[in-house]
Chain A
Amino acid sequence: MQIKPVLVALKKHRLATLLIALEIALACAVLCNAVFMIASRLSAMQLVSGVDESSLGFIQLGGFDPKSAHDLNARVVAGLGAIPGVQAVRVINSVPFGPAAGAFGVTLDQAGKQFRGVPELYLGAPGTPEALGLKLVAGRMPGAEDYQTVLEGYLPANSNVLVTRVFAEHLWPGEDALGKTFWTGRNQFRVIGVVAQLSVQQYDEEGERGAQWTVFVPVQPGPQLAGTYLVRADPRELDRVMVDARTALAKIAPDAVVDHQQSDTLPALRTRFFQADRALTGMLVGVIVSLLGVTALGIVGLASFWVAQRRKQIGIRRAIGATRGDILRYFQTENFLIVTFGIALGMLLAFVLNALLMKFYELPHLPLYYLPLGAIALWVLGQLAVLGPALRAARVPPVVATRTA
């Protein structure tokens, strides 16, 4: 197929060509950025919590008298533990995707000079790391002697803690974290074990805290740690166990109120946590579909119009020897050229749009490989849209040449 005659013909319709190319350019820019945003939402939703989510549930009680904390904890742990199918009940301050329970600025020195960010702390009673299903990669799990009673405030003065691999690497890049210490205010932490993963409770991508910036502090339950429980059960029985647990709590703890919002299985808490991301993804898919639809309709409309306008010329070409395939390929080539102009302009626009989004909405850089992907999508769309009108053009009989328009 020769390109030159197509170009010459397009020159006669500069304006319409330019407009379709512009539309494709805009569609290209939006398509690349929207797909990129969808991809980043989907990858955010892959957040690894590091715990056995499908086996775990969380219970939060409120409204009880802190003076009765010891008694309440004992009643709940015993009462929930008696529900058939429950494998473990542990007092814990929160769980991944649960309520934000405590973030503390930490420093590497007691004087508080070497500030190293604000991780989230998990506080849990004996057996909690095992019930969560944390995977140890170095050191040891806390032993019975590591679970201390907190006499004042929220934390023991000195504790032996677990940190995640990511947070250990953040505190001491390239070094072995075991045995090292860090501080929050007057409280000292000593690392006894490193776990593979344990994600924060409410991860905020725009915040400074990394998704795995967590510390597990072993403590004995008490007034500072009460009313929030981890329940472990077989994944197949978890839903039923959590329903039973909420019912049972009315009898076990009549002096407290179950927070139905927060008391749920971890899979349910996870689903809720990513609800907004899913909604945004759905909206972006809608935008992409409608944009591509409008663009395709525009191509169909204009190509149909051109075919109708050129019936006589097509007839003449057919009469002097062009095959149907020649006519078909003519319109396909024409569309390919227009879409290519559009894509060339669209790549520039995609970067401008990405720069604007980065400036105002703190979006990351658009990776380069999105551009060829967007280009291929638009080429395919263009060819599909032009196929109908082009086939109609190919069916124009040579005899048209002999008639007056």
Chain B
Amino acid sequence: MGTGTDFINTRVDMFGYYLDLAWRSLRHHQVLAALMVLAIALGIGASVTMLAVLHNLSGNPLPGRSGVLFHPQVDPRPAKLSGADVEPPDDLTYIDAVNLYQLGIAPRRAVMSSNWLPVRADAPDSPLAMYTDRATTADFFAMFGVPFLYGAAWSAQDDASHAQVVVLSRAMNQKLFGGGNSVGRTLVIATKTFRVAGVIDDWNPQPRFYDVNGGAFGKPEQMYLPFFAWLDLPQDYGYGPMNCWGNDPNAGTHDPRVQQCTWAQFWVQLDTPAQAADYRAALVQYSAQQHQLGRFQRDPDVRLRGLLDWLDYKRVIPVTVRMQTWIAFGVLLICLVNTVGLMVAKFLRKSGEIGVRRALGASRRDVFAQCLIEAGVVGLAGGLLGLPLAWLGLWMVRQQPVSFAASAHFDPSMLGVALLLAVLSSLLAGVWPAWRASRVAPALQVKSL
């Protein structure tokens, strides 16, 4: 064994030998081994379940586009408002929404809100049903990369002319028109007739970043209407969640155009950092101008968060999920402490065997490595058993009555995470017991045999 290759071969051989030893040792102490594997499997099952949920909830809703999407905010609130948040409101008032929409310096922009409206197919005696809708402007579809099955988005011209056109979701098209190409057909929405301009494919970015008012993990809207035509609808079904200030609590419930209520979401696409800087300057300038006009009482206070920053700021991950993740890792920790205790017991039980190996020339490092490999094997077995447990855990999360239930699915990347976590944590648990085992004095043990 003079050359480097031989040395490596020997190492590889020894690794195989240690694996074999570990396997024999575990089979020899089946009950202890089973307890350790079970404990690690339980800890891994619990923590991987919550990691998978967390991973799915904190994903990027629009990979590839999230870098150029921004959420502008201005502060139209009165100078003195007791108990008010220091941050500007999330949504815009009608006036600011329209002004910023007409600012036109962003390559794309969309103003939006949501409610639900009574709809019936344009045929006598067809039943009336409520559908959720998103009222927005033409750029919404191109800006967010919404895929179309049939037809296309309406145009900016349609927005300007208050055209009564509608874009349907795939599910609503299925329900009303049996799933065929319904472009050009008509619907009665809140007593007015709308023409179908397009049908989109399944599209539901999670978290639903563009409007987190009703929680960020809900179902997508069933139809999309031009914002200004939607405002013309004669009946009052609310204008999305409204946030009002001032003395009159009734303000805004019937008139969305009042000054003191925010309810419209607004997004812009800015392709370069320079555009973003220009846009931010424009927001400041707009606020200053509104201040001069007397509309804004506060000094310009604007925000222009990128999509991911916005999700971060809104802390969209539900508190219960974060708490359950902590609990799951607490379970893993306790399972690991349990494993450490069992491993100490197990390795010390083998003191005689280790003494013989040491007497025959194994170094402390060799004994340490052997014990650690045994720990790793336990971890791998625990990880493999933990996977079905995690799968079961995710199934249980899906049974919960929570909005994010649908996002509790098993991601293939979690497979690797589970095994890695299992092996790493069991190695960590094995370090101290292995170190103890490697301190066994050869002579004493051999004598006692």
What is the interface of chain A, defined by CB distance below 8 A to chain B? 15-16, 19-20, 22-23, 26-27, 30, 34, 62-66, 104-105, 112, 153-154, 184-186, 254-257, 259, 272, 275-276, 279-280, 283, 287, 290-291, 293-295, 297-298, 300-302, 304-306, 308-309, 357, 360-361, 405
Contact = CB atoms under 8 A, between A and B. Distances in A.
B179 interface: no
Given A23-B337, A276-B400, A304-B32, 7 more contacts: A63-B129, A112-B247, A294-B334, A297-B35, A298-B341, A301-B341, A405-B448
Contacts of A30: 327, 330, 334
A26 B327 CA distance: 12
Nearest to A152: B250
B319 interface: yes
9 contacts: A16-B341, A23-B341, A63-B130, A257-B129, A257-B130, A290-B42, A291-B331, A298-B341, A301-B36
Interface residues of B, number: 49
In order of increasing CB-CB distance, the 3 nearest A-B pairs are A63-B118, A19-B341, A298-B338
A308 B350 CA distance: 13
B349 interface: yes
Contacts of A63: 117-118, 128-130
B356 interface: no
A250 B324 CA distance: 44
Contacts of A295: 334, 338
A283 B432 CA distance: 33
Given A26-B337, A290-B46, A291-B334, A301 B342 contact: yes
Given A15-B344, A185-B250, A255-B128, A26 B334 contact: yes
Given A19-B337, A295-B338, A301-B345, A26 B250 contact: no
A63 B342 CA distance: 66
Interface in B219-239: 235-237
Contact of A62 (B116, B249, B323, B340): B116
Interface string B311-339: 00000000110011001001101110110
A65 B334 CA distance: 61
B289 interface: no
A185 B31 CA distance: 73
Nearest to B448: A405
A298 B250 contact: no
B185 interface: no
Nearest to B346: A305
Given A63-B118, A279-B402, A294-B338, A305 B345 contact: yes
Among B38, B116, B191, B334: residue with most chain A CB under 10 A = B334
A259 B432 CA distance: 62
B345 A302 contact: yes
Contacts of A293: 42
Contact of B338 (A64, A112, A154, A297): A297
Contacts of B85: none
Interface string B136-175: 0000000000000000000000000000000000000000
Contact of B400 (A19, A279, A357): A279
A22 B320 CA distance: 27
Contacts of A185: 247-250
B436 interface: yes
B194 to A, nearest CB: 15
B38 A297 contact: yes
Contacts of B35: 297-298, 300-301
B52 to A, nearest CB: 15
A302 B345 CA distance: 7
Contacts of B118: 62-64, 257
Nearest to B340: A19
B331 A27 contact: no
Contacts of B340: 19
A297 B39 contact: yes
B4 interface: no
A241 B23 CA distance: 67
B253 interface: yes
A65 B346 contact: no
A255 B235 CA distance: 14
A298 B39 contact: yes
Interface in B269-301: none
Contacts of B330: 26, 30
Nearest to A105: B249
Contacts of A22: 337
B2 interface: no
B333 A302 contact: no
Contacts of A34: 327
Contact of A301 (B31, B130, B248): B31
Contact of B335 (A255, A294, A361): A294
A92 B117 CA distance: 22
A118 to B, nearest CB: 9
A351 to B, nearest CB: 15
Contacts of A279: 400-402
Contact of B235 (A66, A104, A276, A280): A66
A96 to B, nearest CB: 19
A252 B349 CA distance: 81
Contacts of B36: 301
A262 to B, nearest CB: 11
A183 to B, nearest CB: 11
A103 to B, nearest CB: 9
Nearest to A118: B249
A216 B298 CA distance: 39
A126 to B, nearest CB: 24
